[in-house]
Amino acid sequence: MFSQLGVRLQLWIALFCCPGVSAAQDIPPNPAEDCDRLIVVVGAAGTDEFAGEFSSWADEWEQLARRQQWQLTRIEEPADAGTAREQLEGAVRSSLKSSCRLWIVFLGHGTFARDTAKFNLIGPDVSANDLKGWLKGSQMPVVVVNCSSASAPFLTKLAGPDRVLLTATRSGSEINYSRFGKYLSLAINDPEADIDHDQEVSLLEAFLAATSETERFYLGEARLTTEHALLDDNGDRVGTTGDFYRGILPAKQAEEGKQIDGAVASRMILYSSPGVPVFPPELEARRLQIERQIDQLRNQKDQLAQEHYYDQLESLMLELAQAYDLAEANQ
């Protein structure tokens, strides 16, 4: 059991001692699986060079969808179903009726003017306000990844409960071409992005690997960094940059009254090495329930007596270990 869980348990314990962290092509889903849906939107490239870049990034996301057996919709240009924007709206609205979790990934260029952020499409663009309206009233988990320049306003507009937001920039004024999308698309399928060596790559790890590679690019070129990616998964619309972490552990304190993002993204697994325990649906639900209880306990750490806190933590960790034991036994 500890061959798979030991590293993760050590990291969780470390975290809990640190308060304040926290044309469309469709692939049908596997009916035996819960239905995640991934919508990949490839924007207007402007040049052949960018077109090749964005298309190759989208191929990586398509590979992820095939491996995870998610339903995939890839939108690149106008088609019989309408403009790219109309296709996107239709895909989003239909997903809210049929999916258990929706992923929307934007790969391309973005703009910010008159307090409005837009993602550039062939034909009419899509704004953060547009997407907010299409998602209004949704009760399902939604992940939005905007890898374009000037993308940060998408985070502030869309973040909330059961939402995970990744943007390539921390403000609308970072308008230069963004390279974050390249490194994120590579990380989602790369076992080398497994920062904590637990044989899995989470969305948090992919985000941290991509931000590190982005910064390495600018340092290698002796250029001023013109993009700073953000992650928000606690709904406070603030976001956390990659430099808050050392490995997957927070190395900085959040501002008073704020929490560092990453707890939810750390449980979204994108890549698993062969041999990693596969949790059947009921056991997976139990595991997530325990992990949420651990998160709640961590948030109460300052209000609890130390002995009481660690007694509860030990009990929950043992329950989690038992869940892993059962998953390994089933496998």
In a domain, 170, yes or no: yes
Average pLDDT over residues 53-64: 98
Instruction: State the total domains in the chain.
Output: 1
In a domain, 81, yes or no: yes
Domain span at residue 147 reads 20-275
CB 199 within 8 Å of CB 118 = no
In a domain, 313, yes or no: no
In a domain, 10, yes or no: no
> Which band of pLDDT confidence, cut at 50, 70 and 90, is reported for residue 31?
very low
Q: What is the pLDDT of residue 96?
A: 87
Q: What is the pTM of this model?
A: 0.82
In a domain, 161, yes or no: yes
Output the domain CATH number for residue 239.
Answer: 3.40.50.1460
Instruction: Identify the CA nearest to 211 among candidates 187, 234, 194, 232.
Output: 187
**What whole-number distance in Å separates Cα of residue 248 and Cα of residue 267?**
12
Task: Give 79's DSSP letter.
Answer: B
**What whole-number distance in Å separates Cα of residue 104 and Cα of residue 110?**
15
Condensed to tens digits (0 to 9), the pLDDT of residues 273-309 reads 887 877 787 887 888 888 888 878 887 888 899 999 9
For residue 42, give the H/E element and its range: strand 36-42
